[in-house]
């Protein structure tokens, strides 16, 4: 399934850690928005890791939004994402 992952984190160090983590697992649509295709187990692992990474942040916001095939075809986007969609392998 496809997922949209977004965050809002004030602390530079924690935000940088989140970015590095997501850059290895997803592709960047906007500065704080990523997308990935993975299974349920993989997205749960990503969720747990992101919660751990942001544990010391003040009021962090993390969102992972599932996008089903039917909804994916109806996504409206104007402009180009920062990265192109590519296969992701999560180990």
Q: Which residues does the annotation place in the binding site?
A: 8
Parallel, antiparallel or unpaired: strands 61-67 and 33-37: unpaired
Tell me the binding residues for Mg(2+): 8
Is 74:23 a contact under the CB 8 Å cutoff?
Answer: no
What span, in angstroms and rounded, lies between the C-alpha atoms of 13 and 84?
26
d(CA 85, CA 51) in angstroms, rounded, equals 25
């Amino acid at each position: 399934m496809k997922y949209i992952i977004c965050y809002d984190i004030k602390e530079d160090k924690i935000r940088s850690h989140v970015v590095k983590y997501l850059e290895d697992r997803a592709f960047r649509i906007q500065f704080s928005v990523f997308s990935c295709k993975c299974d349920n187990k993989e997205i749960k692992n990503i969720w747990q890791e992101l919660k751990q990474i942001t544990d010391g942040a003040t009021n962090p916001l993390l969102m992972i939004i599932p996008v089903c095939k039917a909804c994916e075809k109806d996504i409206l986007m104007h402009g180009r994402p920062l990265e192109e969609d590519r296969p992701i392998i999560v180990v």
